[in-house]
Amino acid sequence: MADTKVALITGANKGIGFETAKQLGEQGITVVVAARDEKKSGEAVAKLKAAGIDAYPLVLDVNDSAGFPRAYDFLDKTFGKLDILINNAGVAEPGDDWAINTATTVTQKTLREIFDTNFFGLIELTQTLLPLIRKSPAGRIVNLSSILGSSTLHADPSSPIYGTKTAAYNASKAALNSYTIALAAALKDTPIKVNAAHPGWVKTDMGTSAAPMEIPDGAKTSVLLATLPPDGPTGGYFHMDQTLPW
């Protein structure tokens, strides 16, 4: 087990998270499927095992920090390290309410709910698990961002995202981008690489059926950043092999 890489993916019971676990598992990496619901995590693991992938279930809610030490203990006792952390779990404004999630109308409730998942919970989980990542000879942290977190593109009237000003979601991803830069800088003298991934507009529950990308393609950026070679980038913001502007 010491030579086998271990990856933890949050929100991995469906969508991009599950596909990321599948693609990493197909590369011989042991995957820990983290999800809020024990049944859903177990069902996802059963599917992965049926495909010949070494997978483990883990009940983990990024909004419930009381469970973070239990996640740490499970990883420590089972593997003694963590090679890859993919912070995949995230939320957006539910349903058709994006139109009222604007700079002038967004509510404190919406801001707090989205930031709790996309930013505060993510940071606390990462800090909790960092000692295990430090034990890896080549730790990788991938933060699932979005092109909607690009302040550069949002400020450019000619950019394709200029008209998509969903205040809470966009701000949470911009904040996550900032944290990615800071964490990469803090770990620059270690083998750990930290990057932000824009998966693309993907046909998921969040992306809806209107999205142009299929789920297997949506996982590719996360998988690429999770398996970077020693000379790969850190502190970057990517979609596939394209660097995005902050």
Residues acting as catalytic residues? 169
Q: E strands, 13-69, where? A: 30-35, 55-59
- Write the DSSP assignment of 96-152 as a string of letters: TGGGG-STTT--HHHHHHHHIIIIIHHHHHHHHHHHHHHTSTT-EEEEE--GGG-HH
Dihedral sign, Cα of residue 194, residue 144, residue 126, residue 181? positive
Ramachandran sector of residue 200 (left: φ over 0; alpha: ψ -120 to 50; beta: rest): left
Q: Are 149 and 173 in contact (CB under 8 A)?
A: yes
